[in-house]
Structure 1
Amino acid sequence: MPTREQMEQNRFIRPFAHRVLRSELWRFTRRSVPRGVALGIAAGIIIPLGQIFVAALLALPFRANVPVAAVTTFITNPATIPFVWWFANWLGSSLLRVDQNTYIAPVSTAMQSTEFDRFLEWLTGETLVTAFGLVTLASVCASLGYLLSSWFWRWWVARKRLRVIRLRRERLEKARKAEAE
């Protein structure tokens, strides 16, 4: 990861560095991390190319953690994307109750009845079904990611706080024992 100074000197970032390099976008807080997780998951599932750039760009107006948003997009990669798209197609067709014989009316009335036209009708129908499934899947997964990362963040901070409290009690008990002796 480049340093802040290196990013300020980058000629592509320099014109809008004052917005991109705000410290609140790079700090790990209980609000920015779950937002970054949700944006990264949504961008990773919906956008086929350039997910990191889009997630980092969306992190600016949503005040999400930029590194978390960028890293979370890696849930989809060349190994997982065929499964994600297959599941999105299945989810979209299940939610819309569309089978392969259903044609989209404007496309089917506008085209001739050739094999290529039938293929385009099928492809257009499947593309819309898959897109609906991708948006649904991204919404559900981003919401779950937000909730789980928020819960994990609170658990992690509470665990650290309990550890500090326990150490303070132990020190206090040792100090009391030393005074008593």
Structure 2
Amino acid sequence: MSTLSSRLSRWFHAQMPTHEQLAANRFTAPLARRQDLFRFTRRSVPRGVAVGLLVGIFALIPGIQIIGAALMCVPVRGNIPLAAAMTFLSNPGTTPLILAAAIWLGNRMGYHADLSTFHALYERGASAHEWLYWLLSDAAPSLVVGLSILSVGSAALGYLLAVWFWRGWIGRKNKARQLRPARGQGLDPPGGAA
């Protein structure tokens, strides 16, 4: 019986583009030459998770997040597919929570942004013009400081959790490998014992 994580892993690997597909695309061809950016290794996985969380929470603009995460993975040698996947943690359902937490953190750091105005704008479905006016009036410093703290903290926590999960996964794989009988050992010879 297959576990959810193994099914999810198989699905994820089936959805990933091949090296040939990346090399054929004019936008991804420069990245396709760097195959290490697409491998799942003990170093690239935590780096990809951290970069994805950092960019995904700080940028909050769909499209820019994935491009920014992919570009940031190049110098730090992070896993690009994981970084892109981590940016989806900030989505239309979580963005209001992230913004509220960032404003709260910014206010705790000594800046001022009125949370009641934020909630009122959110509840009535304010236009982009109203959001921009509110942001430029008094909320910008609080929001930027809060997003900075939130994104750096999330990236650090994501990095540590990815290292921990990676070590656990490799440990379970090694333990299972040790428990399996070696090929050809432990089998009776054909025709019974001599």
Which band: TM-score by shorter chain? 0.7 to 0.9
Q: Is the 8 A contact 1:20 1:60 kept in 2?
A: no
Q: How does 1:89-100 map to 2 (within 5 A)?
A: 89-94=103-108, 96-99=109-112
Q: Residue 3 and residue 125 in structure 1: after superposition, are their counterparts in 2 closer, same or farther (change >3 A)? A: same
Task: Kindly indicate whether the alpha-carbon contact (under 8 Å) linking 2:47 and 2:159 is maintained by their aligned counterparts in 1.
Answer: yes
- Are residues 1:44 and 2:44 paired? no
1:35 aligns with 2:58: no
Bigger fraction of residues in helix:
1
Match of 1:159 in 2: 172
Instruction: Kindly tell me the number of residue pairs found equivalent between the two proteins.
Output: 158
Q: 2:82 is matched with which residue?
A: 68
Give TM-score scaled by structure 2 length: 0.72
Alpha-carbon distance between aligned partners in 1 of 2:178 and 2:55, rounded to the nearest angstrom: 40
Q: What SS does structure 2 have at the residue aligned with 1:133?
A: helix
Which residues of structure 2 form unaligned runs of 5+? 1-15, 115-132
| Aligned partner letter, 1:4 | H
Contact 2:54/2:151, CA 8 A, preserved across alignment? yes
Amino acid at match of 1:139: V
SS of the aligned residue for 1:149 comes to: helix
Determine if contact 1:42/1:139 at 8 Å carries over to the other structure: yes
Q: In structure 2, give the amino acid aligned to 1:144.
A: L
The answer to whether structure 1 residue 7 and structure 2 residue 19 are counterparts is no
Out of 56, 71, 74, the residue aligned to residue 57 of structure 1 is: 71
**Cα deviation code 1:72-104 (max 9, x no counterpart):** 10000011101100110001111x234459xxx
Residue 22 (str. 1) matches residue 34 (str. 2): yes
C-alpha distance in 2, partners of 1:53/1:8? 17
CA RMSD of aligned residues (A): 2.7
**TM-score, normalised via structure 1 length:** 0.77
User: What aligned pairs does 1:62-141 form with structure 2 within 5 A after superposition?
Assistant: 62-94=76-108, 96-99=109-112, 123-141=136-154
With over 3 angstroms needed to count, the CA separation of the structure-2 counterparts of 1:57 and 1:20, relative to structure 1, is: farther
> Tell me, which stretches of 5 or more residues in structure 1 are unaligned?
102-119
Does the Cα contact within 8 Å between 2:47 and 2:79 map onto a contact in 1? yes
Output the CA distance in 1 between the equivalents of 2:101 and 2:149: 11
Identity %: 41
